[in-house]
Structure 1
Amino acid sequence: MTIQAHIAALQESIPKDVTVVAVSKFHPSAMIREAYDSGQRIFGESRVQELVTKQQELPGDIQWHFIGSLQRNKVKQIAPFISLIHSLDSEKIMQEIDKQGAAHQRVIPCLLQLHIAEEETKSGFSPDECRSFLAKGTWRECSHVQIAGVMGMATFTENKTQLSAEFRL
C-alpha cells in the first residue's frame, strides 16, 4: 500500500475530530514529503538532530511534534519551530523550555509525560509526582510554556486489560 493510500484509508477509518500525528522518525525526508503531498501536516520525531534536518528540508507549514525524551541541552535547537513537545517530564526541562521560549519570543505548548507503563524503560512523572508538580505551582511562573495536556506511553503488549488499567489514573 502506498503512503497516499495508507493516509486515505486511515482518514476514512477515524472520526473527523481526531488529529493524526504521523511518526516520521527514522524515515527519509522523501517519504515524509510523500505523506505531506497526501495532506498530512503533523509529524512526530524523537531525535533532535534528525528533526532539525528535516525541518530545514521540508515545507514550512509542517507542524513538528517532539515525541521522545528531551535533554535540556537540546531544547534550544527545536525551540524556534516546534509545535508541541510531548515529553515534559521534569521541572528542570520545563525551565529550559521556558528560557528558550523567551529567547525566541514564543510560547511552547507541552504535554506532561506520565509514567503509566510497567516497563522501566518508559519515563515521565508518576501520577503522584505529577500531582505534586502541579500543586507546587512553579509551572505558573513559566510564561513561555503552555501545558496543553498529558500523555502516557503504555506497556508494549497486546493485553487489553493491562492497557486499560495503565490509562486509568
Structure 2
Amino acid sequence: MSIQQNLNNIKSQLPANVTLVAVSKTKPVTDLMEAYNAGQRIFGENKIQEMADKWEQMPKDIQWHMIGHVQTNKVKYMAPFVSLVHGVDSFKLLKEINKQAAKNNRVIDCLLQVFIAEEETKFGLDEKELEEILISEEFKELKNIKIVGLMGMATFTDNQTQIEKEFKNLKSIFDNLQNQPTTQNLQPTTLSMGMSGDYKLAISCGSTMVRIGSSIFGGR
C-alpha cells in the first residue's frame, strides 16, 4: 500500500479527539511530501539536525514535533520552529527550552515525559519529580514554555496486560495533572501515548495523541 493509503486507513480509525503524529525519522523528504500531499501536517522526528534540515526544505504550514530524547546543547537548533517537544525529562532541559524560546520570541509547547515502563532504558520523570517541578517557584517563572500535557512510552513487550496497566497509570497521572489549577505555563490537554504497535490500546486508555511511523511509511 502507498503512504497515502496507509495514512487514510489509519486516520479513518482514529477518534476525532486524537491527533496523529506521523513519525518520519530516517525517511526521505519525498516520503514526507507524499504524506503531506495526502493531508498530513504533523510530523515527528527524533534527531534535531534531521528535523531542522527537513523544516528548511518543506512547506511552512507543517508542525514539527520533537519526539526523541533531547540533548540540551541542541535545543537552540529547533527553537525557531519546533511546535511541540514530547520528551522533556528534566527541569534542566525545560529551562534550556525556555531560554532558547525567549531568544526567538516564542512560547514553546512541551510535554513532560513520565517514566511508566519496566525498562531501564527509557527516559522520563517519576511522579515525585513531576510534582516537584510543577510546584517549584522556578517553574512558575518560566514564561516561554507551556506544559500542554504528558508523554509516556510503555515497556517494549508483547504482554498487552502490562502495556495496558502502564497506559492506565499514565492516564491517572494525567487526570491528576488536569485537576490542578491551570497557569500561564501549565495547560494540560494532551496525553501522548501509543505507537504503531499499541496505539489502539493507548486510545482505549485515554490517549489524545499517537505517534505512528512504520504503519504509515513502512519499516525502517
Output the TM-score relative to the length of structure 1.
0.97
Deviation of residue 56 (structure 1)?
0.6
**What is the alpha-carbon distance in structure 2 between the residues aligned to residue 152 and residue 144 of structure 1?**
23
Q: Which amino acid aligns with 2:67?
A: I
**What is the alpha-carbon distance in structure 2 between the residues aligned to residue 66 and residue 94 of structure 1?**
14
> Deviation string for 1:18-76 (max 9, x for gaps)?
11000000111100000000000000000011101111111111100000110111000
**What is the alpha-carbon distance in structure 1 between the residues aligned to residue 134 and residue 143 of structure 2?**
15
**What is the alpha-carbon distance in structure 2 between the residues aligned to residue 6 and residue 112 of structure 1?**
30
1:69-148 to structure 2, matched below 5 A, reads 69-148=69-148
**What is the alpha-carbon distance in structure 2 between the residues aligned to residue 128 and residue 109 of structure 1?**
22
Note closer, same or farther for the CA distance 1:40–1:132 as it changes in structure 2 (3 Å cut). same
Deviation of residue 138 (structure 1)?
2.0
Deviation of residue 136 (structure 1)?
2.0
Q: Does 1:36 align with 2:50?
A: no
Q: Does 1:26 align with 2:26?
A: yes
Larger relative contact order (Cα-Cα within 8 Å, sequence gap ≥ 6): 2
- What corresponds to 1:66 in structure 2? 66
**What is the alpha-carbon distance in structure 2 between the residues aligned to residue 23 and residue 71 of structure 1?**
19
Q: Secondary structure at the match of 1:22?
A: strand
Q: Which amino acid aligns with 1:75?
A: V
**What is the alpha-carbon distance in structure 2 between the residues aligned to residue 145 and residue 8 of structure 1?**
33
Q: Which amino acid aligns with 2:134?
A: L
**What is the alpha-carbon distance in structure 1 between the residues aligned to residue 73 and residue 108 of structure 2?**
16
**What is the alpha-carbon distance in structure 2 between the residues aligned to residue 5 and residue 137 of structure 1?**
49
- What corresponds to 2:5 in structure 1? 5
> Deviation string for 1:59-96 (max 9, x for gaps)?
11110000011011100000000000001111111111
- What corresponds to 2:187 in structure 1? none
Q: Secondary structure at the match of 1:65?
A: strand
Deviation of residue 116 (structure 1)?
0.7
**What is the alpha-carbon distance in structure 1 between the residues aligned to residue 68 and residue 140 of structure 2?**
24
- What corresponds to 1:46 in structure 2? 46
Identity fraction in percent:
50
> Deviation string for 1:103-141 (max 9, x for gaps)?
000100000001111111100101121112222242211
Deviation of residue 8 (structure 1)?
1.0
**What is the alpha-carbon distance in structure 2 between the residues aligned to residue 42 and residue 81 of structure 1?**
13
**What is the alpha-carbon distance in structure 1 between the residues aligned to residue 133 and residue 165 of structure 2?**
23
**What is the alpha-carbon distance in structure 1 between the residues aligned to residue 118 and residue 144 of structure 2?**
33
Q: Which amino acid aligns with 1:26?
A: T
Q: Which amino acid aligns with 1:42?
A: I
- What corresponds to 2:160 in structure 1? 160
* RMSD of aligned residue pairs (Cα, Å): 1.0
Gaps of 5+ in 1: none
After alignment, is 106-115 or 124-133 more displaced?
A: 124-133
